[in-house]
Amino acid sequence: MITSKIIANGILRAISTIVLVAVALYFLYQIQSVLIYLIVALILTLIGNPILDFFKRRLKFKHVFATIATLLIFVLIIAGFIMMFIPLISSQGQNLSLLNTAEIEKNIIQLVNQISAFLESHHIDSSKMLKESNYASKLNFNFIPNFINAILGTISSFGVGLASVLFITFFFLKDRLLFKNGAKKLIPDSHEDQILNSLDKINNLLSRYFIGLLLQLFIVFILYLIVLLIFGAPNAIIIAFLCAVLNIIPYIGPLIASILAAVLTMMSNLGSDFQSEILPTTIYVLIGFWIVQVIDNNLSQPIIFSKSVSSHPLEIFLVILIAGFLFGILGMIVAVPLYTIIKVIGKEFFPENKIIQLLTKDI
């Protein structure tokens, strides 16, 4: 028989659970920077594991020295990016007009007027529509410097936390066996082998995935840079780097990169004749970018990703597409790593399932 005391206890337990969950979420929100450092350090660890093993097996380094050498490679790469891009951004930032709202508005109005003049010369009335719409008064360009300042603030914060990330990464690499032995004590004996096998496979596949991702971004960056240099686009290295980074977002990223490249190319050529210089250069750059994307989508990306996570290219495409519909851009970015983790866990714990056997036959 259900009494009022049982009901009251149930309500109290439910309220206590809700309060505990709320407190835990609030705590995680308050330490979100630390969580980000841990995630970045974990990704660096996954990338660094093959490098660490190379130093130990091929060069016969001791574990500590191999860890230091691996971390030193990360530091040199980060320093190289800083040394390469900071001077370029400093010297060419004025040309890009990133932080000057008035200059941005002036340049865009000038560009739209040039487009309008070009359309009028070809007897297209849309230019009149553009002028009558009073577009300049409707555009608020203040968001651009605010956005850039937010990015710079994030970079500055990461700069402050960079030492923390590298420090955490060092111990993740150095003490990985210690962490594994510690995990063994927490894992129930009945599932110890399955969980440890899952962790080993996840570590291996995600290490290959993140290395493959870096390789893909590097290939795209080089191809974008070649296109921009061939057609003489100003600020080629900066534009190519920004567009390559956008390729982290599958399928949508390249589209945004094309639009960004077109806008920055036109903005960088202001002062030139629109019909004879700005328009042809922009069209050539867009065609070049689309060719790069065809190469990336049909060759480098499917080969690199399918090999790194042992999944069919169509399988990866469908997973990214479904994650995009369900969770947006963030879902598309994390789709492949999470799907890989789920596949490994499924193979270890449900090996008799026909669907899991089909999906994990290459793992």
249-278 tens-digit pLDDT: 877 888 888 888 887 777 766 666 666 677
**233 and 347 co-located in one domain:** yes
Tell me if 123 is assigned to some domain.
no
Q: Which of 81-90, 259-268, 311-320, 350-359 bottoms out in mean pLDDT, i.e. has the lowest?
A: 81-90
> Could you tell me what percent of the chain has a pLDDT over 90?
6
Where would I find the beta strands (DSSP E) of 22-158? none
Which pLDDT does position 72 carry in this prediction?
A: 92
On whether residue 9 sits in a domain, the answer given is yes
Distance CA 65, CA 17 (A): 47
- 121 within a domain of the structure (yes/no): no
Q: Are residues 159 and 280 in the same domain?
A: no
Please tell me the predicted confidence (pLDDT) of residue 68.
92
Residues 62 and 148 placed together within one structural domain of the fold: yes
pLDDT of 202-236, one tens digit each?
Answer: 888 888 888 888 888 888 999 999 988 888 777 78
209 and 326 housed in the same domain: yes
Cα gap 173→70, rounded to integer Å: 9
Q: What is the pLDDT of residue 23?
A: 92
Residues 80, 26 share a domain: no
pLDDT of residue 274: 66
Whole-prediction pTM: 0.69
Do residues 87 and 203 share a domain?
no
Are 265 and 230 contacting, i.e. CB atoms less than 8 angstroms apart? no
> According to the per-residue pLDDT averaged within each range, which of 46-55, 295-304, 325-334, 350-359 is highest?
46-55
HEC readout, 74-140: HHHHHHHHHHHHHHHHHHHHHHHCCCCHHHHHHHHHHHHHHHHHHHHHCCCCHHHHHHHCCHHHHCC
- For 125-153, the pLDDT digits (tens) are 555 555 545 544 444 545 445 544 555 55
**Both tokens assigned to 245:** 């980074």
Shared domain for 243 and 278, answered yes or no, is yes
Task: Check residue 102 and give its pLDDT.
Answer: 54
* Amino acid making up residue 91: S
User: What is the predicted pLDDT for the residue at 149?
Assistant: 53
Domain count of the fold of the chain: 3
Residues 248 and 158 in one domain: no
Percent of the residues in the chain that have a pLDDT greater than 70, as a whole number: 75
| pLDDT tens digit sequence for 153-196 | 555 555 667 788 889 999 988 888 887 777 777 777 777 778 87
CA separation (Å) from 87 to 83, 221, 238, 246, 248?
Answer: 7, 19, 11, 22, 25
**333 occurs within a structural domain:** yes
Q: Note the pLDDT of residue 69.
A: 92
Q: Based on the fold, state whether residues 230 and 341 are members of the same structural domain.
A: yes
Q: Are residues 233 and 325 in the same domain?
A: yes
- Please tell me the predicted confidence (pLDDT) of residue 65: 92
275: in domain: yes
According to the model, what pLDDT value does residue 134 have? 52
Containing structural domain, residue 13: 1-30
Same domain, 332 and 347: yes
